């Protein structure tokens, strides 16, 4: 992560789908638990966990692409 500016990371987060971005922000930024996210969004805890996992994977892919492009 040290290779990226906050602007680049923010841009990558904005590249996530609405659901992934929402779960990611609630979990990472707002420090909600999966139980709290599930209750807020009307989804299961499992769906929250899957969305967070997919969000992290997508962010990794987006940032690696950016890194490889220079």
Q: How many CB atoms lie within 10 A of CB 43?
A: 16
Write down the pLDDT at residue 1: 58
Q: Give the chain's mean pLDDT.
A: 93
**Residues in the chain, overall count:** 70
Nearest one of 70, 44, 16, 68 to 36, comparing CA atoms: 44
Architecture label for domain 6-69: Orthogonal Bundle (1.10)
Q: Which residue has the tokens 């929402």?
A: 22
**Mean pLDDT of the region 39-66:** 96
CB 38 within 8 A of CB 47: yes
> Residue ranges of the domains in the chain?
6-69
pLDDT reported for residue 3: 76
């Amino acid at each position: 992560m040290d290779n990226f500016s906050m602007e680049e990371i923010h841009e990558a987060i904005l590249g996530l789908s609405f659901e992934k971005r929402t779960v990611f922000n609630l979990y990472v930024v707002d420090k909600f638990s999966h139980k709290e996210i599930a209750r807020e969004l009307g989804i299961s805890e499992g769906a929250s966990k899957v969305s967070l996992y997919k969000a992290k994977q997508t962010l990794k892919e987006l940032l690696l692409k950016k890194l490889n492009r220079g």
